[in-house]
Amino acid sequence: MSVVGRIAEQSMDNQNRNKMINRPAAERIKDFQEVPIGYTIEQAVAEAKRCLKCKNAQCVKGCPVEVDIPGFLTHVANGDFAAAVKKIKETNALPAICGRVCPQEEQCELKCILGIKHESVAIGNLERFVADWERASPLSPPTSDSFLGANRKVGAGVRIAIIGSGPAGLTCAGDLARQGYAVTIFESLHVTGGVLSYGIPEFRLPKAIVNLEVEYVKSLGVEIQTDMLIGNVYSISELLKEFRAVFIGSGAGLPKFMGIPGENLGGVYSANEYLFRVNMMKGWQFPEQLTPVKIGKRVAVVGGGNVAMDAARVSLRLGAAEVYVLYRRTHHEMPARKEEIERAVEEGIQFKMLALPIKYLGNEKGALVAAECIVMELGEPDASGRRRPVEKPGSNFILPLDTVIVAIGNSPNPLIPLRTPELKTEKWGGVIVTAGGSTSLPNVYAGGDIVRGAATVISAMGDGKTAAKAIHEQLG
């Protein structure tokens, strides 16, 4: 039977996916608890049974870490959740994280054949379900030996250094540890997880889940050293004296600003600083945690990505009465995930499309009081494929504000390139790599945001996996 014929054979009940229930907006904006409630066992089994079990599974081709999606869905459909977890972890060490923050709608679910006529299988929701089932199981955490495979001794005794414990570093480390390499992760902060810990709010990714995923990677034999700022504590050349290969996954922690007047006023934050204070330094728990985050009643977030949605929704939870998102294009061009935009709208975030701040206004004390903005129009597509925003002359308007959060992206962390001049980089700061992740330096690899600029968690994980494979091919 043809694929189209098999889709047509699906019953009417199977055309639409099982929806995860969200906590009511009026309730959730008062706390930092997770928003989606998650699938019940019955919902998960029913959703997994919607899979067509394609012989040439396109969904796998859409997954940067190549999870055997039909394989794990079959186990879920059969109610064997332990087998489903094991199947996912053959290639993905961070399923509870991926199930929550990865844009499946642009990757595996976009390729789902069922989506040609109906709604695609909710692969991300099911990945989250089985990871949460494992966490709640009395058998959790699983013994790492069951995931190590036949190649455990291949790299025995060969030491590999990983810089950064974000998604790229954790994935690279986990894959190499399964091959038997002695892996050490050097993390500059006092807490592991990288952007997973400092960049994503608790209500979207609970830190207890990040910590458990990190513990799983450690259970594979990976050593993690915190408070180790590579470039200061050790140089790359010094690491290469002790380790056979080095993977740089130090992320993109350098915030971008627009370069407009008034950005130095009190009340203007970069999203990086703002979310770091809230997430890493527990500002959302003040005064129990001694990290105050000053925020006014009228807040504007500049940008249209997931970070902008995070900053806006955090502001609401910290007590802002009005929160605006200023974006110079329209809803159609916003890079944020559709579900995050929908949740922001439900929570009362106000979107001002085709609006761009051109100047911030302050009072005699140097505090922000307003933003001067201008209305934009969309012209011809630019290099990104999106229509270029153009200023509409004479359309200036004043928006009274107490706080502005600039969320227009981050640049790669510059310390390692600055301290390693022989490491070739792009003009904008990204480390230049080959398709296999190798850099201009022998035995040095890189991936994630240090290469791409600010990108998705799953793309960083894909880079880590690619580099681990290349390292193994070179050294194994």
Residue 11 predicted with pLDDT over 50: no
- pLDDT per residue over 274-288, tens digit each? 999 999 888 888 888
In order, the DSSP letters of 39-72 are --HHHHHHHHTT----SS-HHHHT-TT---HHHH
88 confidence band (pLDDT: 50, 70, 90): very high
Residue 138, helix vs strand vs coil? coil
Identify the DSSP state of 266: B
Cα dihedral sign, 13-4-53-94: negative
Q: Which CATH number fits domain 257-408: 3.40.640.10, 3.50.50.60, 3.40.50.300, 3.30.420.60?
A: 3.50.50.60
pLDDT in tens, 404-438: 999 999 999 999 999 999 999 999 999 999 999 99
Q: Is 257-408 the same fold as 153-253+411-475? A: yes
CB 170 within 8 A of CB 93: yes
Question: What is the DSSP annotation of 414-466?
Answer: -HHHHH-TTS-B-TTSPBP--TTSB-SSTTEEE-THHHHSS--HHHHHHHHHH
Q: What is the pTM of this model?
A: 0.91
Q: Would you list the domain boundaries of the chain?
A: 3-142, 153-253+411-475, 257-408
Between 3.30.360.10, 3.50.50.60, 3.30.420.40, 3.20.20.140, what CATH number should domain 153-253+411-475 receive? 3.50.50.60
180-183, long-range: CB within 8 Å, 24+ apart, which pairs? 180/151, 180/152, 180/153, 180/154, 180/155, 180/156, 181/155, 181/156, 181/471, 181/472, 181/475, 182/155, 182/156, 182/157, 182/158, 182/221, 182/223, 183/159, 183/221, 183/222, 183/223
Per-residue pLDDT reduced to its tens digit, 312-326? 999 999 999 999 999
Q: What is the CATH number of domain 3-142?
A: 1.10.1060.10
147 pLDDT band (50/70/90 cuts)? very low
Tell me how far CA of residue 159 lies from CA of 38, 179, 430, in angstroms: 40, 12, 26
